[in-house]
Amino acid sequence: MISESQIKEYEDYGFVAVSHVISAGELRDLHSVIAENIERSRNITENDAEFDLEPSHSAENPQVRRFKTPALFSDVFGNIMRSSKIIDIVEPLLGNNGVRYRNDKLNMKIAEVGSPVEWHQDICFYPHTNDDVLAVGIALDDCTLENGALQCIPGSHKKPVLDHHSDGYFAGAVDPDDPAFNIEDAVPLIVEAGSITVHHGRCLHGSAPNTSTKPRRLWLIEYTAADAWPLAGVPNYSDWQGYLIRGSDTTKMRVTDHDVRIPFPTPPTVGSIYEIQKQANKTVYR
Ligand SMILES: O=C(O)CCC(=O)C(=O)O
């Protein structure tokens, strides 16, 4: 459950952490699905529908940077994605307008290797008719500054959305020299394994490389209000209906006035966020 003061924190800052949501048994099950999939990744040499690989990945030393949509590939992940304990937290944060799953990904941040994620606002990747869009981060390891904890800028969700284009292409990252971006304002979300974080789709966030000897696995699940429609269209309407988790299905769209640019034209390096951000001219971590 989420308390009134945590809801207020989310509204004021654009992010909130909730402790002890995932049990030790669930963590064990999630870790064991991950271990099986890392074994499977030994046969993979290129990014595909399930795996995004670190540049140093090999069959001998498998290094998966991201598992794509584990909630759709694994019941262990899928059951948690749909569980009441997560949806009860998310529902009020989406304004009690229903809850729809959008996408999920498990960012692995391997010890001493894990790639950074440049600063961005998620809604720029998938603008919707309203901005009741958020991401839940389920900490599968303790998240620390050294292993690349997610960092957020408080209040950024209430400010104008920043430019995420470079050289005329969508680059999925803000220019660190943008006068509206100040990394000094960043707050690291230091949480224990089993805790969750929630950040608003407009919240500016990023994370540094993992320089520690411990992994930082963060499973991010994106949810939207049931009446938020993706401006890029719905690729498969029956999947879309199946992704409604709470509330009633509707073909009505709620439109609010917001200022997001469409993420086109796509850059030549299209793919996951790590590939898209290669398009950015200036970055914080590279
Ligand atoms: O894994 C992280 O630290 C952040 C990931 C993120 O923001 C994203 O994948 O959109």
Task: Indicate which atom in ligand 1 lies nearest the CA of residue 218.
Answer: 1
pLDDT above 70 as % of the chain:
100
- The pLDDT, as a whole number, for residue 1 is 85
Residues with CB under 6 A from ligand 1: 107, 117, 122, 150, 205, 207, 218, 220, 273
CA of 252 to the centre of ligand 1 (A): 30
Is residue 285 situated within a structural domain?
no
Residue nearest to atom 7 of ligand 1 (CA): 206
- The pLDDT, as a whole number, for residue 100 is 98
Is residue 275 situated within a structural domain?
yes
How many domains would you assign to the chain? Answer: 1
Of 49, 101, 58, 50, the C-alpha closest to 80 is 101
Is residue 154 situated within a structural domain?
yes
- The pLDDT, as a whole number, for residue 123 is 97
Of 217, 181, 192, 226, the C-alpha closest to 91 is 226
- The pLDDT, as a whole number, for residue 258 is 80
CA of 243 to the centre of ligand 1 (A): 22
pLDDT above 90 as % of the chain:
93
- The pLDDT, as a whole number, for residue 260 is 87
CATH of residue 81's domain is: 2.60.120.620
- The pLDDT, as a whole number, for residue 11 is 98
pLDDT < 50 regions, the chain: none
Collapsed DSSP state (helix, strand, coil) of residue 107: strand
Is residue 149 situated within a structural domain?
yes
pTM, rounded to two decimals: 0.97
Q: Which of 105, 273, 277 to mutate to test the pocket of ligand 1 (most atoms within 8 A of CB)?
A: 273
* Alpha carbon distance 35, 90 (integer Å): 28
Task: Indicate which atom in ligand 1 lies nearest the CA of residue 116.
Answer: 3
Is residue 245 situated within a structural domain?
yes
Q: What is the mean pLDDT of the chain?
A: 96
Task: Indicate which atom in ligand 1 lies nearest the CA of residue 207.
Answer: 3
Is residue 199 situated within a structural domain?
yes
- The pLDDT, as a whole number, for residue 42 is 97
CA of 207 to the centre of ligand 1 (A): 7
CA of 245 to the centre of ligand 1 (A): 23
Task: Indicate which atom in ligand 1 lies nearest the CA of residue 120.
Answer: 7
Place of tokens 């914080």: 284
The token pair at 196 is: 């969750």
CA of 206 to the centre of ligand 1 (A): 6
- The pLDDT, as a whole number, for residue 5 is 98
What single string gives the DSSP state of each residue in 105-151?
Answer: EEE---TTT---EEEE-GGGTS-BSSS-EEEEEEESS---TTTT--E
Is residue 284 situated within a structural domain?
no
By residue range, what is the domain housing residue 267?
4-279
Collapsed DSSP state (helix, strand, coil) of residue 232: coil
CA of 181 to the centre of ligand 1 (A): 18
Residue nearest to atom 10 of ligand 1 (CA): 122
Is residue 55 situated within a structural domain?
yes
Task: Indicate which atom in ligand 1 lies nearest the CA of residue 109.
Answer: 1
CA of 141 to the centre of ligand 1 (A): 15
- The pLDDT, as a whole number, for residue 271 is 84
